[in-house]
A and B are shown apart, each in its own frame.
Chain A
Amino acid sequence: MENRKFLTFARTSIKNLFRKPATVGYPYQPADYPERMRGHVEIKTDNCILCGLCMRSCPPGAIRIDRADATWTINRFDCVQCGSCVNACPKECLTLLPGYTQPASSKTEDVYQCPKRPTPAPPKRPA
Chain B
Amino acid sequence: MAKRSIIPFGPQHPVLPEPIHLDLVLEDETVVEAVPSIGFIHRGLEKLVEKKDFKQYVYIAERVCGICSCGHGMGYCEAVEHVMNIQVPPRAEYLRTIWIEMSRIHSHLLWLGLLADALGFESLFMESWRLREKILSMMDATTGGRIIFSVNCVGGVLKDITPEMLREISQTMDDMERELKPIMETFLHDYTVQSRLCGLGVLTRDQAILYGAVGPMLRASGVEYDVRMTGYGAYGDLEVAPITAADGDSYARCEVRLKELIQSFRLIREAIGKIPEGPIAVPVKGSPSGEYFMRIEQPRGEAIYYVKGNGTKNLDRFRLRTPTTSNIPPMLETVKGCQLADVPLLVLTIDPCISCTER
Contact = CB atoms under 8 A, between A and B. Distances in A.
B189 interface: yes
15 contacts: A1-B194, A3-B188, A4-B190, A8-B182, A8-B189, A8-B190, A13-B123, A36-B140, A36-B142, A37-B140, A38-B145, A57-B53, A59-B57, A59-B59, A83-B144
Given A22-B130, A81-B145, A82-B59, A5 B189 contact: yes
A126 B138 CA distance: 57
Interface string A80-107: 1111100100000000100000000000
Q: Is the interface of A mostly helix, strand, loop or mixed?
A: loop
A23 B40 CA distance: 34
A8 B185 contact: yes
B143 interface: yes
Interface string B18-43: 00000000000000000000000000
Given A34-B140, A38-B144, A5 B191 contact: yes
A80 B198 CA distance: 43
B186 interface: yes
B141 interface: yes
A57 B130 CA distance: 37
Given A22-B133, A38-B145, A83 B158 contact: yes
Given A12-B123, A35-B141, 9 more contacts: A4-B194, A8-B190, A9-B127, A11-B182, A12-B183, A12-B186, A36-B140, A38-B150, A80-B63
Contacts of B127: 9, 12, 16
A6 interface: yes
Interface in A21-64: 22, 34-38, 57, 59
Contacts of A57: 53, 56
Nearest to B179: A12
B133 A6 contact: no
A8 B198 CA distance: 17
A36 B159 contact: yes
Nearest to A34: B141
Can you list the 6 inter-chain pairs with the closest CB atoms, starting with the nearest? A38-B144, A34-B141, A36-B144, A82-B59, A8-B190, A8-B186
Nearest to B121: A9
B189 A3 contact: yes
Contact of B144 (A8, A22, A37, A87): A37
Nearest to B116: A9
B124 interface: yes
B160 to A, nearest CB: 11
B86 interface: no
Contact of B59 (A8, A9, A80): A80
A2 to B, nearest CB: 10
B124 A9 contact: yes
A4 B189 contact: yes
Contacts of A96: 144
Contacts of A34: 137, 140-141, 144
A6 B191 contact: yes
A51 B133 CA distance: 41
Interface in B176-231: 182-183, 185-186, 188-191, 194, 198-199
Contacts of A3: 188-189
A84 B194 CA distance: 48
Interface string B112-148: 0000000001011001001001000100111111001
